[in-house]
C-alpha cells in the first residue's frame, strides 16, 4: 500500500487552464506538504498544512490554492496555468512534532504547453 | 530563501568505489536528513540525524551531523550500480517541519 499517493502522475495541459492534483496519505500523519521540483531538480517547499490549517506559504502565486478537506488529504489547485508552472509537484506528510521524518509521494509531472 | 550548498553537483562512480558528498549551511539546523531520488520517483529517506556530532549508518551508507550543526556528510562504501540516482541533503529547523533542500548530487556510472 502506498503511504503517500498523488494523482495524476502525469498531466499535460494548455496555458490558461485550471488543474488540480490530489494527494492522500494513509500514515495517520497530522502535517502535509506540497513541494515543487524544477527542471534543475531543485526542491522547494510551497505549502504546509497541519490538521487542515495552513502553516507555511512560501510566497507562492495566488494562482496556487491548496485545499485540505481532512488531515489525510491535501489537494493542490492551480488556476490560469503558465508555462513556468511546468515542474514536478511532490506531496509529502509527517507527524506534527518538528524533527519527524517527512515522507514523499511519487510526484506529479505537470507540463504546460 | 535559505539554501544548502551541496557538493559535488555530480560524480561518476565505478563499482566498488567509496563516494562522499556533503552539505553546508550558513544557518543552524536541528535535524539533517539524506534522501535519494530515483528517476520518476519521489525522494526516499536514507538517514536521519538528530544530534550534533551524531554518526549513523544504514547498510553501506554512513552520515554525520556536523558539530557546528551547519553541515553534514554522506558516505557510500563499495558502491554498486543501483546507487545511481540523485542524493539530497535536507535541513530542518527547530520550529516547524519545513525542510530546506540542497541542490542534489547526481551519482552516475563511469562509462
User: Does position B1 have pLDDT exceeding 60, yes or no?
Assistant: no
B31: nearest CA partner in chain A: A99
B85: nearest CA partner in chain A: A41
Q: What integer pLDDT is reported at residue B96 of this predicted model? A: 64
Cell of B87: 542524493
Q: What integer pLDDT is reported at residue B22 of this predicted model? A: 97
Mean pLDDT across B81-87: 94
Mean pLDDT across A79-103: 89
Q: What is the DSSP letter of B82?
A: G
Collapsing DSSP to helix, strand or coil, A23 comes out as strand
Q: Does B107 touch chain A (CB under 8 A)?
A: no
Q: What integer pLDDT is reported at residue A104 of this predicted model? A: 94
Rg (CA), chain B: 13
Query: Which residues of chain B neighbour A100 with C-beta distances below 8 Å?
Result: 97
Q: What is the pLDDT of residues B3-54, one digit of tens each?
A: 789 999 999 999 999 999 999 999 899 899 999 999 889 999 999 999 999 9
Task: Return mean pLDDT, chain B.
Answer: 91
- Chain A residues with CB within 8 Å of chain B CB: 4, 31, 33, 40-45, 48, 55-56, 58, 90, 92, 94, 96, 98-107
Amino acid at each position: 500500500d502506498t503511504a503517500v499517493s498523488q494523482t495524476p502522475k502525469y498531466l499535460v495541459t494548455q496555458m490558461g487552464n485550471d488543474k488540480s492534483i490530489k494527494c492522500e496519505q494513509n500514515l495517520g500523519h497530522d502535517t502535509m506538504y506540497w513541494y515543487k521540483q524544477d527542471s534543475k531538480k531543485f526542491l522547494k517547499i510551497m505549502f504546509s498544512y497541519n490538521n487542515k490549517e495552513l502553516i507555511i506559504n512560501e510566497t507562492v502565486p495566488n494562482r496556487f490554492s491548496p485545499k485540505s478537506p481532512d488531515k489525510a488529504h491535501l489537494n493542490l489547485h492551480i488556476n490560469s496555468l503558465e508555462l513556468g508552472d511546468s515542474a514536478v509537484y511532490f506531496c509529502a506528510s509527517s507527524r506534527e512534532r518538528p524533527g519527524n521524518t517527512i515522507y514523499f509521494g511519487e510526484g506529479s509531472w505537470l507540463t504546460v504547453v | 530563501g535559505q539554501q544548502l550548498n551541496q557538493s559535488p553537483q555530480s560524480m561518476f562512480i565505478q563499482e566498488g568505489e567509496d563516494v562522499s558528498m556533503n552539505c553546508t549551511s550558513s544557518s543552524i539546523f536541528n535535524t539533517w536528513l539524506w534522501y535519494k531520488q530515483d528517476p520518476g520517483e519521489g525522494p526516499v529517506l536514507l538517514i536521519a540525524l538528530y544530534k550534533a556530532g551524531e554518526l549513523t549508518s544504514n547498510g553501506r551508507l554512513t552520515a554525520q551531523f556536523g558539530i557546528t550543526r551547519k553541515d553534514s556528510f554522506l558516505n557510500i562504501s563499495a558502491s554498486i550500480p543501483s546507487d545511481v540516482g540523485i542524493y539530497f541533503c535536507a535541513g530542518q529547523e527547530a520550529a516547524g517541519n519545513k525542510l530546506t533542500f540542497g541542490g542534489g548530487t547526481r551519482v552516475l556510472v563511469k562509462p
